[in-house]
Chain A
Amino acid sequence: MSATITAPPRAAVARGARHDGGRARRRRVLMWIATHCVAIALALMFLAPVVFIGLTALMTDEQALTSELWPQSWNWDNFAVVFEKSLLLRWAGNTLMYAALGTVFTVVSSVPVAYALARFRFRGRRLAFLVVITTMMLPPQVVAVPIYLVWARLGLTDSLWPLILPMVLGDAFSIFLLRQFLVTIPRDYTDAAKVDGCSDLRTLLRVVLPMARPAIAAVALFQFFYCWNDYYGPLLYAGVEQEKLTLSLGLATFKAFHSVQWNLTMAATLMVTAPVIIVFFLAQRVFIEGVTLTGVKG
Chain B
Amino acid sequence: MTAVHAAPPRRWRGEGLRALVWLSPWIAGVSIFFVYPLLSTVYFSFHRYDMYTLEFIGLDNYRYLLQDARVATSARNTLWLVAVMVPATVLFSLALAQLVIRLKAGVGLLRTIFYLPSLVPMTAGTITFVFLLNPGTGPVNQVLAWFGIEGPDWFGDPAWSKPSLTMLSLWGCGQLTVIFMAALLDVPRHLYEAAAIDGAGPWRQFRSVTLPMIAPVLLFALVTNVIYALQYFSQAMIASRVASGVTDSAGSSFSPGYPDESLLTLPQWLFHVGFRDYSMGYACVLALLLFGTSMIFTLILLRQFRRAEEVS
Contact = CB atoms under 8 A, between A and B. Distances in A.
B15 A141 contact: no
Interface stretch (B4-12, B82-90, B187-195): B4-12
Interface stretch (B56-64, B153-161, B204-212, B226-234): B226-234
B171 A141 contact: no
A187 interface: no
Contacts of B301: 133, 137, 298
Given A35-B103, A272-B123, A295 B179 contact: yes
Contacts of B129: 49
A142 B124 contact: no
A232 interface: yes
A262 B131 contact: yes
B275 A148 contact: yes
Interface string A84-125: 000000000000000000000000110011011100111101
A207 B40 CA distance: 42
B22 A116 contact: yes
Interface residues of A: mostly helix, strand, loop or mixed? helix
Nearest to A56: B131
A66 B137 contact: yes
Contact of A146 (B44, B180, B304, B305): B44
B73 interface: no
Contact of A43 (B18, B34, B113): B113
A39 B280 contact: no
B220 A297 contact: yes
A141 B242 contact: no
A255 B242 CA distance: 7
A234 to B, nearest CB: 10
A126 B285 CA distance: 31
B179 A248 contact: no
Which of B113, B294, B304 has the largest count of A CB atoms less than 10 A from its CB?
Answer: B113
Contact of A113 (B25, B227, B307): B25
Nearest to B123: A248
Interface string B214-225: 001101110010
Contacts of B142: 67, 69
A248 B122 contact: yes
A226 B284 CA distance: 26
A141 B270 contact: yes
B137 A135 contact: no
A89 B200 CA distance: 59
B116 A280 contact: yes
Interface class of chain B by DSSP:
helix
A232 B25 contact: no
B28 interface: yes
Given A64-B137, A116-B22, A130 B306 contact: yes
B166 interface: no
Contacts of A115: 22
B100 interface: yes
B305 A298 contact: yes
B175 interface: yes
A128 B20 CA distance: 11
A123 B5 CA distance: 23
Contacts of A235: 237, 271
Contacts of A144: 270-271, 274-275, 283, 287
Interface string B121-147: 111101111011010110100100000
B116 A169 contact: no
Interface string A26-58: 000001100110111011001111001100100
A133 B305 contact: yes
Of listed A130, A144, A276, residue having the most chain B CB within 10 A: A144
Of residues A109, A142, A168, which shows the largest number of chain B Cβ atoms within 10 Å of its Cβ? Answer: A142
B66 interface: no
22 contacts: A32-B104, A35-B102, A35-B103, A36-B104, A42-B114, A113-B23, A122-B14, A122-B20, A134-B302, A140-B231, A143-B37, A143-B41, A145-B283, A169-B25, A235-B271, A240-B249, A252-B238, A266-B131, A277-B116, A294-B175, A295-B183, A298-B220
Interface of B: 1, 4-5, 7-8, 14-16, 18-20, 22-23, 25-26, 28-30, 32-34, 36-38, 40-41, 44, 51, 96, 99-100, 102-106, 110, 112-117, 119-124, 126-129, 131-132, 134, 136-137, 139, 142, 171, 175, 178-180, 182-183, 216-217, 219-221, 224, 227, 230-231, 233-234, 237-238, 241-242, 245-250, 267, 270-271, 274-275, 280, 283-284, 287-288, 290-291, 294-295, 297-298, 301-302, 304-309, 312
Given A145-B41, A262-B137, 20 more contacts: A52-B131, A109-B25, A109-B26, A112-B4, A112-B25, A122-B20, A133-B298, A135-B34, A139-B294, A141-B271, A143-B38, A144-B274, A169-B29, A170-B25, A229-B123, A251-B123, A262-B131, A280-B116, A287-B115, A297-B220
